[in-house]
Chains A and B, each alone.
Chain A
C-alpha cells in the first residue's frame, strides 16, 4: 500500500464509523419506528463500505464480492421481517410512535 492509497483508505476508515454513529444516534433520538429501521440500515451501509474498502485495499476484491452479496440478501430478509413488525404494531395502535413499544417494564 503506497502513501496515496493509504490517505484514500483513511477516508473510508473515517466514513464508515461516522455512518455507524449516525445510525446509532438516529435509533436513539427518533420518535418513529420506521426511522429506527432506517437508522439500522445506515449503520449497515457504513459496514458495507468498510468491507468493500477492506477488500479493495487488501488487493482481494474478488473475495469480498460474495460476502457483500450474502450480506445484502441477509439484510433484506431482516428488513422484510421488521416491516412485518411495523405493519402489525401500526395496526394494533393506529400510530407509528415509539411510545407504543415502551410499555413493558423489565
Chain B
C-alpha cells in the first residue's frame, strides 16, 4: 500500500504529460486514482499494490511504513480530493487548466501520502515542499490580483517555515548523526536537556505551527483560502494545511521526540488562542470563504489543544478531529463554491432566503455546521467529546472548560452565516437562482453522508480506525 500510493500518482503525471493528453483524460485519471486510494486503505491486499511494490522494489529502496494514524489521513485525503476535483470542474473554462489542476492535485496527493508514510525528518521536509510547490501553483491558476497576493504571502511565510524546519533537521543531524526517527528519538532520550536539542525541537514546532496556520502565525491563511479558486480552497482547507501542519506535529511529537511539559504548555496556549481568536474573527467577517477560513483556524486550534494533553486518548481525539474537520470543512467549502457559482458573489450580507432556491445546499450546510459546533449525533460531537475528556483526564481542566465554552462561539458564527445566507426573507435579486448542478450535489451528498454515518456509527469508526491509531486497543 505504502509505495504504490506514493509512486502511482507520480507515474500517472508522467504518463499524462508524455504524450500530453486532454484535460478530461487527466480529470478522470485523477478521480480514478483517488477512488483507488480510498479502496486501497480498506483492502490493502486486493488491489495489486503488493505486486506493484515488488516490481518497484527492484529499483528503489524506500524507508516507509504505514500505521494507524496514516490510514486515517489517507482516507481523509482521498475523500477531500474527490470532492475538490469535482467542485473545480464547473468553474474551469479551458481544457488546459483542467489538465494542470488534475496534475497538480495528483502531485499534492503524492506529497501527502509521502509525509504520512515517511520515517525520516528530511523526507518529511522534501514532501512538505512538494505539497507546498503544488499548492502555490494551484492557488494562482486563475491569475486574479487577489490570488496572486494571497499566494505570494503564503509562499513567503511557508518558505520561512520550511527553512526553520531545515535548520532543525541540521541541528538534529549534528546531535544524532542521522535524520531517521529512531536516531532522533534516541538522541532526544539521551540528551533531552541539551540546548541544541531544545532549540531544534522549538524550531521544528514553530515551522509546523506556521504551516498549520495557528494563531499567531495565521497571517497567510485567510488570504490564501479566500482568494484561491473554489475547488482549490476545498483541498487547501480540507486537508493540505492539516496534513503538512497538524499531522506532522502529531507525528513529530508522538513518534519521534515525545512530549515534555514546555511543549505541552506551548501547544495548549497556542491551541486555545487559535480557538478563541479564530472564532471571534470569524464572527466579524463578511466574505463567505473568509468565515470558513477563520473557522478553520479555530477548529485546528481544537486539534492542537487536544495534542497539548499528550496522552494516547488525546492523540486519538486529535486524529479523529482531523478526519471530521476534513469532511465538514470541505463540505462547507463545496457549498460556498456552489453558492458562488449560482449567484456570482460571496458577500454574506447580499444574500437572504437562498434556502428556498437551493434547498440541498442549505440543508447540507446546516448539517456541516452542526457537526462543526459539536451537536450529537453528528461526527463532530464525538471528536469534541473525546478532546474534552482527554483534556479533563490529563488534568488540564481549565482548558477543557474553554473548549466547551468556545463551542458556543462556533455555534454563533455558523448560525449567523446560515441565517444571513440561507434563512429569512428572500432578497429580490435572487429570483433566477437554481439549485446547484450535479458536480456540486454529488460531493455534497457524499460528504454529508460520511459525517452523518460516522456520527451514528461512531463506535465502529472509533474501534476500527481511531483507537488503533493511538495504540489504545
- Give A contacts to B, CB under 8 Å: 16, 20, 23-24, 27, 33, 36, 40, 43-44, 46-47, 50-51, 54-55, 57-58, 60, 63-64, 67, 70-71, 74, 77-78, 81-82, 85, 88-89, 92, 100-104, 106
Measured CA separation A47–B324 after assembly (Å) = 37
Closest 8 CB pairs of A and B: A54-B174, A51-B170, A104-B223, A50-B170, A101-B149, A54-B173, A74-B129, A47-B166
A23–B149 alpha-carbon span in the complex (Å): 21
A77 CB contact (under 8 Å) in B129, B156, B222, B223: B129
Report which of B140, B146, B169 forms a contact with A85, defined as CB distance below 8 A. Answer: B140
Nearest opposing residue in chain A for B285, CB measure: A106
Interface assignment of B281: CB less than 8 Å from any CB of chain A: yes
Please indicate the chain B residues that have their CB under 8 angstroms from the CB of A51 in the complex: 166, 169-170, 173
Question: Quick check: is B148 within 8 A (CB to CB) of the other chain?
Answer: yes
Q: Per-residue 0/1 for B448-468: is the Cβ within 8 Å of any A Cβ (1 yes, 0 no)? A: 000000000000000000000
Using A85-B151, A104-B153 as known contacts, list a sample of 8 further A-B pairs with CB atoms less than 8 Å apart, ordered by residue number in A: A40-B159, A71-B166, A77-B133, A85-B136, A88-B148, A92-B148, A100-B149, A103-B145
How far is B68's CA from A81's CA once the two chains are assembled, in angstroms? 35
**Can you list 18 residue pairs at the A/B interface with Cβ under 8 Å?**
A33-B152, A36-B156, A44-B163, A50-B167, A50-B170, A54-B170, A54-B174, A60-B177, A67-B122, A67-B173, A70-B122, A85-B136, A92-B145, A101-B152, A103-B146, A103-B149, A106-B223, A106-B281
What is the number of contacts between chain A and chain B, taking CB atoms within 8 Å? 102
Main secondary structure of the interface of B (DSSP, over half): helix
| Interchain CA distance A50-B171 in the complex, whole Å | 8
Cβ-based interface call for B210 (8 A): no
Q: For chain B, which range describes its interface: under 10, 10 to 19, 20 to 34, or 35 or more residues?
A: 35 or more
Q: Is B227 an interface residue when CB atoms closer than 8 A count as contact? A: yes
Contacts of A85 in B (CB 8 A): 136, 140, 148, 151-152, 155
CA distance A106 to B221 in the complex (A): 9
Q: Which of B155, B166, B227 has the most CB of A within 10 A?
A: B166
CB distance from A93 to the nearest CB of B (A): 8
Residues of B within 8 A of A24 (CB): 160
Contact of A47 among B146, B170, B179 (CB under 8 A): B170
B178 within 8 A of A: yes
Could you say which residues of chain B place their CB within 8 Å of the CB of A43?
160, 163
Which B residues lie within 8 Å of A104 (CB)? 146, 149-150, 153, 222-223, 226-227
Chain A residues closer than 8 Å to B156, beta-carbon distance? 27, 36, 40
With CB as the reference atom, state the residue of chain B lying closest to A58: B177
Closest residue of chain B to A43 (Cβ to Cβ) is: B163
Q: How far, in Å, is B156 (CB) from chain A's closest CB?
A: 6
Q: Tell me whether B219 is interfacial, beta carbon within 8 Å.
A: yes
What is the distance, in angstroms, from B331's C-beta to the closest C-beta of chain A? Answer: 24
A40 to B132, CA, bound (A): 15
**Which residues of the partner chain B approach A106 to less than 8 Å between Cβ atoms?**
219, 222-223, 281
In the bound complex, CA of A20 to CA of B163 (Å): 9
CA gap between A2 and B188 in the complex, in Å: 23
| Distance between Cα atoms of A16 and B126 in the complex (Å) | 21
Residue of A with least CB distance to B168: A47
B269, CB-defined interface residue at 8 Å: no
Set of chain A residues within 8 Å of B358, measured between Cβ atoms: none
> Would A40 and B163 be within 8 Å (CB), given that A50-B170, A78-B133 are in contact?
yes
Bound complex: CA A104 to CA B169 (Å): 34
Question: Is B143 interfacial (CB-CB < 8 Å)?
Answer: yes
